[in-house]
Amino acid sequence: MTSAAPAHSVPLIDAVHSVVSSPLLQIASSFSVVLAPLVTHTSLLIFTEDCTGRPQKKAGDPTITDHVSIAELDSVRAVVAELGHPAWDLTVTVARQERPAAVWIAPTGALLVLTDPVLVDSSVGRDEALATIGSLWRLVAVSIQQQVAVASPDYLRDSRMASQDRAQVIADLTDAHSTTLEQLLTTLRSRDAADATARQEATELAVGALVRLRAVSERDRRLAEEPVAKAFERLKADLRPLVRFGECDVQFVDPPENGRALPGEVAHAGRAIVRGAVQSLVNQPGVARLRVQWDCDGENLLIGIRDDGPGTVSLDDPAVRQLSERAIALNGRLTVSGTAGWGSELAVVLPLSAEGLDRSPQAQWQVTERENDVLELLASGARNKTIAHSLSISENTVKFHVANLLRKAGVSNRAELVSAYR
């Protein structure tokens, strides 16, 4: 006879739905709340390469969450990977201190760390707790991966900026510390320095620090970027079920092997756009062939998707408009062209650099030039009549633009609109 599930498992499984339904930035705190009745912990740390801009998701004690580094979590993951199984009594270094921790690695490669774990129910064994939390973590890790694959334009934009900011900080620190260490090594290696033993020991310490520093910088660079060929292979893997089981012939034109590496957000957005485009195109009547091409000109990821369908696809189609919004979020663009009876072609350009990425509310809401004029006057306190007079339009047209702005900003009244704008 099969034994019943532990009493605590049912509410945990029910509660995990709230975690996988949480926005990416709230997943760590939601998961920490779900696990608290089973195991207390000072912090919950997640490290996933699916989120290149924010590879860490953290909740708990700020003295830990504010200071834990990617290098530390990457080292923890390497230790767990070598063990080959979850562990409870593992001593790890996080936030520059050694702490007891329970750790898991999901099949997606994502790492979960609970620091200072203590079982709440003494009747629950550690092996049982490891298995239960491991099952929940696998669901959460898959949810993270899926959410990143279909991330909203706002998340893509913010993640791109976070990735760029982090890379700049690390580059600046690396340059500064490398210069200091190299100067120290020059001094230590001088024959004029006294005490050869102390000099030798200090030299070895400085060399080791320099090697570790450069390794961390290189690790972060690899985390933030995907080789263009590898990114395209992941895309083909995503579309493999369609290629294998669908009736449509999908042809792939591979990018050059030596193309410039893609920022993680660009690679994610590119794959999401292609997946969405393919799903839309294959649903048209008469489509028997699709051609998907990636290329990189050194400054942009260039994507082309072509079908042999009726040639009626346009930017007015809701699904295509959503794909265009993804491109716009990363300062890119999507264009559509087609010939009746011969097929449609979607062309996407995604810049590899975050320079010029606009984080203003107007850019995030994707307002038109006229809507922006209305918004600026509205924020200055002007009423409809004044706005209409200033822009030489009717009051009804002002009301129309204001209604569009409320909808795009996701607010219900003018006060909330002006507050969000500021």
Q: What residue segments make up the domains of the chain, in order of their start? A: 9-149, 160-224, 228-351, 361-421
pLDDT at residue 90, rounded to an integer: 93
Q: Is residue 282 predicted with pLDDT exceeding 80?
A: yes
Domain 228-351: which CATH number of 3.40.1050.10, 3.30.470.10, 3.30.565.10, 3.40.50.970: 3.30.565.10
Residue 27, amino acid = I
Q: Is residue 396 predicted with pLDDT exceeding 50?
A: yes
332-341 long-range Cβ contacts below 8 angstroms, 24+ apart: 332/269, 332/300, 334/273, 338/311, 338/312, 338/313, 338/314, 339/311, 340/310, 340/311, 340/312, 341/310, 341/311
pLDDT at residue 215, rounded to an integer: 66
* pLDDT bracket for residue 226 (50, 70, 90): confident
More confident residue, 158 or 248: 248
Is residue 323 within 8 Å of 277, Cβ to Cβ?
yes
pLDDT at residue 388, rounded to an integer: 86
149-152 long-range Cβ contacts below 8 angstroms, 24+ apart: 149/238, 149/268, 149/271, 149/272, 149/275, 150/272, 151/24, 151/268, 151/269, 151/272
9-149 architecture in CATH? 2-Layer Sandwich (3.30)
361-421 architecture in CATH? Orthogonal Bundle (1.10)
pLDDT at residue 6, rounded to an integer: 45
Mean pLDDT, rounded, of the chain: 79
Q: Is residue 304 predicted with pLDDT exceeding 50?
A: yes
Q: Is residue 283 predicted with pLDDT exceeding 50?
A: yes
156-186 confidence digits (pLDDT tens): 655 555 555 455 555 555 665 666 666 666 7
What is the percentage of the chain residues whose pLDDT exceeds 90? 20
More confident residue, 391 or 197: 391
pLDDT at residue 5, rounded to an integer: 41
pLDDT at residue 175, rounded to an integer: 61
* Averaged pLDDT for residues 314-324: 86
* Averaged pLDDT for residues 228-247: 79
pLDDT at residue 7, rounded to an integer: 42
pLDDT at residue 183, rounded to an integer: 65
More confident residue, 277 or 418: 277
* Averaged pLDDT for residues 215-223: 60
Q: Is residue 395 predicted with pLDDT exceeding 90?
A: no
Q: Is residue 222 predicted with pLDDT exceeding 70?
A: no
pLDDT at residue 2, rounded to an integer: 39
More confident residue, 285 or 49: 285
pLDDT at residue 417, rounded to an integer: 80
* Averaged pLDDT for residues 200-228: 67
pLDDT at residue 303, rounded to an integer: 92
* pLDDT bracket for residue 379 (50, 70, 90): confident
